[in-house]
Amino acid sequence: MAHIDFLVDNLEEAVAHAIECGATKSEMQYFETSTTLFNPEGHPFCLSTMKQSF
């Protein structure tokens, strides 16, 4: 299972759109600049306004 992070301009709008498309918000959230969600199959992903460098 992969975890994908998506960079978005507006976190509130992106989360609302993801939920409209069938995603569910995780009960556990780790950062103020990102939101962890699960797609309809249960795979996690994050929407974030901060570019991450690894």
Q: Is the residue at 16 inside a domain?
A: yes
Q: Is the residue at 12 inside a domain?
A: yes
Q: Which residue has the higher pLDDT, 22 or 54?
A: 22
Q: What is the CATH number of the domain that holds 27?
A: 3.10.180.10
Q: Is the residue at 10 inside a domain?
A: yes
Q: Is the residue at 54 inside a domain?
A: no
pLDDT at 50: 84
pLDDT at 42: 94
Are 34 and 45 in contact, with CB atoms under 8 Å apart? no
Q: Could you give the CA distance from residue 42 to residue 32 in angstroms, rounded to a whole number?
A: 22
pLDDT of 1 > 80? The answer is no
Q: Is the residue at 11 inside a domain?
A: yes
For 27, the domain range is 4-48
Q: Is the residue at 53 inside a domain?
A: no
Q: What is the pLDDT of residues 9-51, one digit of tens each?
A: 999 999 999 999 999 999 999 888 999 999 999 999 999 998 7
pLDDT at 52: 63
Number of structural domains (the chain) is 1
Q: Is the residue at 27 inside a domain?
A: yes
